[in-house]
Amino acid sequence: MSRIMKRKQGVVVRLFSQITGQRIRLIVVAVSIVIYVGLSIYTPMYSALVIDRLWQSIQEAWNEGRAFSITWENMGRELTQLSNQYFFTWIFYYLQSYLMANVAESLNLELRSQIAGKLGRLPLRFYDQNKAGEILSRVTSDLDKIADVLQNGLLKLIVAVGNIVGSLIVMFYYSPGLTAIFLVFMAVSMVITEIVAKKNLRCAAQRQETIGELTGIVEEYYNGRNVIKAYNHEEESIRRVSDSVEKNCQANQKADFLTNCVNPLIRLLTRLANVVIAIAAGRAMLQGRMTVGVVQAFFQYVNQTAEPLTEASFMINSLQSALACARRTFELLDEEEEIPDPERPAVLEQAQGHIAFEHVSFGYTPDHLLMKNISFEAKPGQKIAVVGSTGAGKTTLVNLLMRFYEVNGGKITLDGVSASEMTRSGLRQNFGMVLQDTWLFSGTVAENIAYSKPDATREEIIAAAKAAKVDYFIRTMPKGYDTLLDNEAANLSVGQRQLITIARVFLCNPPIIILDEATSSVDTRTEVEIGMAMKRLMKGRTSFVIAHRLSTIRDADIILFMEQGNIIEQGNHRELLAKKGAYAALYYSQFE
Quote the CA–CA distance of 301 and 37 in Å, as a whole number: 12
Q: Is residue 230's pLDDT more than 90?
A: no
On whether residue 350 sits in a domain, the answer given is no
Judge whether 13 lies within some domain.
Answer: no
End-to-end C-alpha distance for the chain, whole angstroms? 73
CA distance 429 to 508: 9
Q: Is the pLDDT of residue 521 over 60?
A: no
Higher pLDDT among residues 89 and 317, named by residue:
89
C-alpha to C-alpha distance for 547 and 214, rounded to whole angstroms: 36
In a domain, 346, yes or no: no
CATH number for the domain spanning 371: value is 3.40.50.300
Q: What is the pLDDT, as a whole number, of residue 356?
A: 93
More confident of the two residues 313 and 383: 383
| One-letter-per-residue 3-state SS of 482-527 | HCEECCCCCCCCHHHHHHHHHHHHHHHCCCEEEEECCCCCCCHHHH
Q: pLDDT band for position 384 (50/70/90)?
A: very high
Contact between residue 560 and residue 570 where contact means Cβ atoms under 8 Å apart: yes
DSSP H or E stretch at residue 567: strand 566-571
Q: Hey, which of 117-131, 206-220, 396-410, 538-552 has the most confident mean pLDDT?
A: 396-410
Question: Considering the domain boundaries, does residue 7 fall inside one?
Answer: no
Assess whether 230 and 140 both reside in one domain.
Answer: yes
Predicted confidence band of residue 334 (pLDDT cuts 50, 70, 90): confident
Q: Which residues contact 342 (CB under 8 A, 6 or more apart)?
A: 420, 421, 422, 423
Q: Note whether residue 342 is domain-resident.
A: no
Q: Are residues 397 and 490 in the same domain?
A: yes
Q: Which pLDDT band holds residue 560 (cuts at 50, 70, 90)?
A: very high
Please tell me the predicted confidence (pLDDT) of residue 355.
92
Same domain, 374 and 254: no
- Other beta carbons within 10 Å of 320: 25
* Residue 194 belongs to domain spanning: 19-333
Which of 546, 204, 234, 224 has the alpha carbon at shortest distance from 397?
A: 546
* Dihedral class, residue 512 (left if φ above 0, else alpha if ψ from -120 to 50, else beta): beta
Same domain for 552 and 414, yes or no, is yes
Does residue 36 register a pLDDT over 50? yes
Pair (43, 175) in one structural domain: yes
What is the per-residue pLDDT across 159-199, written as a single tens digit (0 to 9) for each? 888 888 888 888 888 888 888 888 888 788 777 777 777 77
Q: Are strands 409-414 and 417-418 parallel, antiparallel or unpaired?
A: antiparallel
CATH label of the domain that carries residue 280: 1.20.1560.10
Residues written for the chain: 592
pTM of the entire predicted model? 0.64
Q: What CA–CA distance (Å, rounded) separates 369 from 272?
A: 69
Q: Is the pLDDT of residue 413 over 90?
A: yes
Considering the domain architecture, whether residues 451 and 571 belong to the same structural domain is answered as: yes
Tally of domains within the chain: 2
Measured CA to CA, the distance from residue 29 to residue 96 in angstroms comes to: 5
Within this chain, do residues 325 and 372 fall inside the same structural domain, yes or no?
no
Q: Contact at 8 Å (CB) between 171 and 298?
A: yes
Q: pLDDT band at residue 1, thresholds of 50, 70 and 90?
A: very low
Contact 465, 530 (CB under 8 A): no
Cα distances from 127 to residues 34, 337, 404, in angstroms, run 47, 12, 11
Question: Looking at 302, 333, 364, which one is the last position of a domain?
Answer: 333
pLDDT in tens, 463-485: 988 888 788 888 988 888 998 88
414 shares a domain with 477: yes
Whether residue 508 lies inside any domain: the answer is yes
CA-based torsion, 227, 232, 238, 243: positive or negative: negative
DSSP string, 9-64: HHHHHHHHHTTGGGHHHHHHHHHHHHHHHHHHHHHHHHHHHHHHHHHHHHHHHHHH
| Sheet order of strands, 417-418 included | 371-378, 355-362, 409-414, 417-418
Positive or negative, the CA dihedral 414, 415, 421, 425 is negative
**All residues at 6 or more sequence positions from 507 whose CB lies less than 8 Å from its CB, including other chains:** 449, 450, 452, 453, 456, 460, 461, 464
Is residue 250 predicted with pLDDT exceeding 50?
A: yes
Cβ neighbours of residue 406 closer than 8 Å, sequence gap 6 or more: 123, 338, 339, 420
> Same structural domain for residues 319 and 367?
no
Residues 255 and 225 in one domain: yes
Report how far residue 305's alpha carbon sits from residue 37's, in angstroms, rounded to the nearest whole number: 12
CA–CA distance, 73 with 77 (Å, rounded to integer)? 6
Are 286 and 393 members of one domain? Answer: no
Residue 592 has pLDDT above 60, yes or no: no
Backbone phi and psi for residue 411, each to the nearest 5 degrees, phi listed first: -155, 160
Residue pair 414/379 in contact (Cβ under 8 Å)? The answer is: no
CA nearest neighbour of 176 among 19, 327, 52, 298: 298
User: In sequence order, what are the beta bridge partners of 357?
Assistant: 376, 412
Q: Is residue 339 part of a domain?
A: no
Same domain, 169 and 297: yes
State how far the Cα of 295 lies from the Cα of 62, in Å rounded to an integer. Answer: 22
Q: Is the dihedral of CA 454, 457, 459, 463 positive or negative?
A: negative
| Torsion (CA) 464, 467, 470, 475 in degrees, nearest 10 | 70
Find out whether 51 and 122 touch, Cβ atoms under 8 Å: no
Which range is least confidently modeled, 10-19, 351-360, 385-394, 423-432?
10-19
Q: Please check whether residue 318 lies inside any domain of the structure.
A: yes
